[in-house]
């Protein structure tokens, strides 16, 4: 199955967006990402954030938004 964005990818996206943080980033990012991959592929639920809230180093950091690709193409 397609993988969600990693914590580091989310942090990089936040930095590229001009350092926007907190609720503003989450709302803006969720809308922008939903426009790209579809709203069914974007989540801010606690369960999804916890499931994808660590990278290979096992450092728990909750992502603001979890995104799955709409397709593999």
Residues 19-68 pLDDT 10s: 545 555 667 778 888 888 889 998 888 898 888 887 777 777 788 788 88
pLDDT at 20: 47
pLDDT at 22: 54
Span 10-14, mean pLDDT? 68
- Rounded to 5 degrees, what are φ and ψ at 46? -60, -40
pLDDT at 60: 76
- Give the chain's radius of gyration (CA, Å): 12
50 Cβ neighbours under 8 A, 6+ residues apart: 62
pLDDT at 40: 92
């Amino acid at each position: 199955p397609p993988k969600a964005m990693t914590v580091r990818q989310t942090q990089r996206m936040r930095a590229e967006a001009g350092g926007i943080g907190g609720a503003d980033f989450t709302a803006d990012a969720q809308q922008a990402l939903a426009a790209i991959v579809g709203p069914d592929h974007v989540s801010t639920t606690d369960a999804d954030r916890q499931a994808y809230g660590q990278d290979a180093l096992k450092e728990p950091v909750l992502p603001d938004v979890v995104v799955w690709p709409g397709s593999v193409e």
